[in-house]
Structure 1
Amino acid sequence: MTRTLPPVSLPAYDRSALTPGIVHIGLGNFHRAHMAVYLDDLMAMGLAQDWAILGAGVRSGDARMREAMLAQDCLSTIIELDPKGRTARRVGAMTGFVEVQPDNAALIAAMTDPAIRIVSLTVTEGGYFIDAATGQFDPEAAEIRHDAARPDAPQTAFGAILAALRARKAAGHAPFTVMSCDNLPGNGHVTQAAVVGLARLSDPAFADWVKAHVAFPNGMVDRITPATGPREREMAAAFGLSDDQVPVTCEPFRQWVLEDNFPAGRPPLERVGVTFTDDVHAYEAMKIRILNGGHATIAYPGGLMDVEYVHEAMAHPLISGFLDKVERDEIIPYVAPVPNTDLAAYYAQVRERFSNPEVADTERRLCLDGSNRQPKFIIPSLRDALAAGGRIEGLALVSALWCRYCAGTTDSGQEIAPNDPDWDRLQPLALAARSDPSLWIGQRAIYGETGQDPRFAAAFANALAGLWADGTEKTLARYLDA
């Protein structure tokens, strides 16, 4: 029987009356299913009419997104994948998309406009030029060195931000707030370190001014948003939106927690469910360790066992059991208390979200970019467990599963296509680690000092040997029986 879909919800406001107040750099699916939806809700209430979004980007993929969005008047199709029934809405909070240029001149000009009071970013966890061994900004990155030498023709988002701030200062305009929407511990502090650190390489006095006058609020963002492919386009077509080639699907759940640090003003986001608090760090540590760490925990066993979808991994008793035991014994015990939140209930909600079959999130997406995600989502829990003398065998196995995945074949012998920006280096290293595990955990950019811990080294070596000798299923079963 064919299910009748509800009508598509259209913007409940006059889009011609909107004026931009935000430039957002990195206009991917997550932004359109998250911040843009919150603003759309506000605009439907007759609020935030001067806080429309200008899309922007600094990569070639952003130019392709710009072309697609301009072709549909910057409207985004957002399909919520509730197991009880799908719903679709057209989000109209974005009114334009800045031309993507090699020197970012158009982006700089857009951010120089005093009407822009917030510049927000989703540039991925790996886009902040962090040295994982130190956890600090890396001034030696090639793109950073380029922008330090040519501050008037920057390649990076941070270089463009600095150029715009410099122009605003010269014109006597107040600086905008810089707001990261990426999954990073202390994302505001990390963004400030990148912007100020880059400025210091060419103009130390201006760097001091940025540090003193520009706000970088910390925030926690959360909504599972799969990549767009044929399935998602078919869903849009079923709603009568076959002309949309970049629809977004997402789970019904969404959360946003922010520091209230917006000297140039902000939309009244608390009216649509955003939490403003001084305890953002507690919320973000909970989310990054329990949810993102949970994603990493189920990603690689599923990838090695040829499991395609996340909800299928959650239905597999070994993978699901592995997640439960690692979370219960090795992650949640080291998550600090969070205001008005029960951690056990939060984890139960995470499990339910992972198990939603409508989302059809892929294991491959979760496996992507482990070289940037492992240091942020797994290693901090491992470090705390080691310091407390607690159990670490499960987290060591998560790391060994990632290593085994990067060897490039599943347990059945299927080839794994490159799935990390550093794949060409990681794959031969993962193969060499089969005989010498210390080669893998000796990557200081990933593991820092943790890779030298004798307890971790022994647990990792044991787990990796088991994966090569017996495969993923038997290794998981052995861990669960221990």
Structure 2
Amino acid sequence: MKSSIALNQENLKRLSPNIKVPSYNRNDVKTSIVHIGVGNFHRSHEAYYTHQLMERFGVLDCGICGVGLLDYDRRIYNILKDQDGLYTLVIKELDGTLNPTVIGSIVEYIFAPENPIAVIEKMADPDIKIISLTITEGGYNLNEGTGEFDFSNPVIVEDMKNPMSPRTVFGYLTQALKLRMHRGVGGVTIQSCDNIQGNGNVARKALLNYVEKAEPGLLQWIEDNVSFPNAMVDRITPVTVAEDIARLQEEFLLEDQWPVVCEPFIQWVIEDDFAAGRPAWEKVGAQFVDNVVPFENMKLRLLNAGHTVLGMLGALHGYKTIDEAARDEDFCEFLKGFMDREVSPTLGDLGDIDLEKYKASLIERFRNVHIKDLVARICLESSAKIPIFLLPTIRAQLKSHQNITRAAFVVAAWCKYNDGKDENGNTYPIEDAMSNELIRAAALSHHEPIRFLQIEPVFGDLVNNKTFVEAFLSSLEMLRSKKVKECVRELNSKLK
């Protein structure tokens, strides 16, 4: 039996012909993008688009320098260092076929805790035109209830005290932009690639809030020289599991310490507002538009909220993966009703977008048995996700006096989820920045059900809306007395 080959630049020529490898000379790649947060999604999305631009069109002036800000990032830093920045993107086709490609667009990587000055200098380099971010919904440090920047966050307090040894993205950006201003090297684009409505606006607000206190003399320069385009990003990218690594090794004789698996579908819709130029990503499928909002609402309220629906219901029932929940006919009927009756009316004019076709494609994607997206992944950090994915639909429907029964039921399911065990008695951890508050409120809700809605950073003033409160309380009462499947069947029958 042949032995597997470790992934690195030197070994590329030895790999199986069934694995696509970079044909361009990576030594000729010039870095113009710094990306903060090199997780699986970045590697299946922006880094993939950029690699495709290099591979198909020979555009080599858009290399990526990855930056890891957190101690957690040390592992990916060490792996990418071992593998010369290379990794395998494995597209899992709907028929189960694996389509592996070695991605070469990440040509540098800096681990910030080891060398914060190097990160600041890199961001201030005149060759850098874009600083992109995947820092998760919670990384923007905005209170979900008030929308205001949280200056009480201990790491923000530390960054204000020690500006040259920052720990947050805001501390790093502030010092780098200050250097760019003093050196006269020109502006830059800060591009959020996170699943947040108005992600560019959110990034801009958070940074300016921080700068106003930390470096007020920098505010006007940022206004004049930095752009924050909004973007909609989409590709289901589950957590890499041991089976993915083993299968790559067994079927392709490739030893990759951290490959990325994803679905075939990919989408990136971006406002064309770049302060210092940009790669021609449209050549490889990205869409540049004047207004990203319709695309954004459609994706966040249908795909991301759809994931949350399946995640919460599936978790309570005891399913482990999203495809299991999506292939459950009761849950799928509930999801379709949610999308058709509660979300679709809130989306407004979508131009030439075929909404019915898009919703049908979502069901197909959710049901992809080869992706195995974990329910646990979808449910983690829900306190940051639900205000973005689900609550806007509830607010819009309430405003137009339309039905919110299914959406309120999902909120109630989230409350029950925070009890920490499914209906089979199996326990799971509540992985959320607000876990203590969520667990406590869920426990209190057994006697005072409204207590869960009183988590102000999540629900804001929704606790004062009689229609929503009544729908939530009714749903929670159902879920406390019956199995989730029984509840869903009852609602499906009632709401037909």
TM over 0.5: yes
Contact 1:88 1:239 in 2 (8 A): no
Deviation at 1:113, TM superposition (A): 1.1
Q: Which moved more, 1:58-67 or 1:143-152?
A: 143-152
Q: Distance in 2 between matches of 1:102 and 1:422?
A: 29
Aligned to 1:31: 42
Q: Distance in 2 between matches of 1:131 and 1:414?
A: 32
Aligned to 1:396: 408
Aligned to 1:191: 203
Deviation at 1:348, TM superposition (A): 0.9
Aligned to 1:8: 19
Deviations 1:194-233 (CA, angstroms, capped at 9, x unpaired): 1111110122231232123211111110000000111221
Q: Distance in 1 between matches of 2:467 and 2:114?
A: 48
Equivalent runs, 1:347-362 vs 2, <5 Å: 347-362=359-374
Deviation at 1:265, TM superposition (A): 1.1
Q: Distance in 1 between matches of 2:17 and 2:325?
A: 30
Aligned to 2:349: 337
Q: 1:366 aligns with which of 353, 375, 378?
A: 378
Matched, 1:265 2:274: no
Deviation at 1:102, TM superposition (A): 6.2
Equivalent runs, 1:33-432 vs 2, <5 Å: 33-84=44-95, 85-101=97-113, 104-240=116-252, 242-432=254-444
Contact 2:87 2:104 in 1 (8 A): yes
Match of 2:111, SS state, is: coil
- From the superposition, tell whether residues 177 and 259 of structure 1 become closer, same or farther in structure 2 (CA, over 3 Å): same
Deviation at 1:322, TM superposition (A): 1.0
Aligned to 1:22: 33
Deviation at 1:103, TM superposition (A): 7.0
Q: Structure 2 length as normaliser, TM-score?
A: 0.94
Match of 2:323, SS state, is: helix
Contact 1:102 1:155 in 2 (8 A): no
Aligned to 1:470: 482
- From the superposition, tell whether residues 83 and 202 of structure 1 become closer, same or farther in structure 2 (CA, over 3 Å): closer
Match of 1:284, SS state, is: helix
Q: Distance in 1 between matches of 2:191 and 2:51?
A: 18
Q: 2:455 aligns with which of 443, 453, 458?
A: 443
Deviation at 1:59, TM superposition (A): 0.3
Deviation at 1:382, TM superposition (A): 0.4
Contact 1:432 1:439 in 2 (8 A): yes
**Identity across matched positions, percent:** 34
Match of 1:137, SS state, is: coil
Contact 1:23 1:118 in 2 (8 A): yes
Deviation at 1:6, TM superposition (A): 7.3
Aligned to 1:459: 471
Deviations 1:307-334 (CA, angstroms, capped at 9, x unpaired): 1111111111111111011111111110
Deviations 1:381-432 (CA, angstroms, capped at 9, x unpaired): 0011111111111111000001101111111111122322322332122121
Q: Distance in 2 between matches of 1:70 and 1:19?
A: 18
Match of 1:228, SS state, is: coil
Deviation at 1:57, TM superposition (A): 1.6
Contact 1:219 1:259 in 2 (8 A): yes
Tell me the matched-pair count.
Answer: 478
Residue type matched to 2:25 in 1? D
Residue type matched to 1:420 in 2? D
Deviations 1:72-116 (CA, angstroms, capped at 9, x unpaired): 111110000102321100000011101322672221111111111
Contact 1:149 1:202 in 2 (8 A): no
Contact 2:132 2:192 in 1 (8 A): yes
Aligned to 2:5: none
Deviation at 1:15, TM superposition (A): 0.9
Deviation at 1:145, TM superposition (A): 2.7
Residue type matched to 2:162 in 1? R
Match of 1:438, SS state, is: helix
Deviation at 1:61, TM superposition (A): 1.5
Residue type matched to 2:256 in 1? D
Match of 1:11, SS state, is: coil
Deviation at 1:177, TM superposition (A): 0.9
Match of 1:55, SS state, is: strand
Match of 1:88, SS state, is: strand
Q: Distance in 2 between matches of 1:427 and 1:209?
A: 44
Deviation at 1:63, TM superposition (A): 1.7
Q: Distance in 2 between matches of 1:63 and 1:362?
A: 23
Q: Distance in 1 between matches of 2:398 and 2:117?
A: 48
Q: Distance in 1 between matches of 2:274 and 2:293?
A: 17
Contact 2:71 2:113 in 1 (8 A): no
Residue type matched to 1:44 in 2? E
Deviations 1:282-302 (CA, angstroms, capped at 9, x unpaired): 111110001001111111110
Q: Distance in 2 between matches of 1:308 and 1:153?
A: 41
Deviations 1:451-482 (CA, angstroms, capped at 9, x unpaired): 22111111111111111111211111111111
Q: Distance in 1 between matches of 2:72 and 2:277?
A: 31
Deviation at 1:241, TM superposition (A): 5.0
Contact 2:181 2:221 in 1 (8 A): no
Contact 1:294 1:323 in 2 (8 A): yes
Contact 1:406 1:427 in 2 (8 A): yes
Contact 2:315 2:422 in 1 (8 A): yes
Residue type matched to 1:121 in 2? L
Q: Which moved more, 1:336-345 or 1:295-304?
A: 336-345
Residue type matched to 1:26 in 2? G
- From the superposition, tell whether residues 134 and 424 of structure 1 become closer, same or farther in structure 2 (CA, over 3 Å): closer
Contact 1:12 1:44 in 2 (8 A): yes
Q: Which runs of 5+ in 1 are unaligned?
A: none
Deviation at 1:242, TM superposition (A): 4.5
Q: Distance in 1 between matches of 2:317 and 2:274?
A: 47
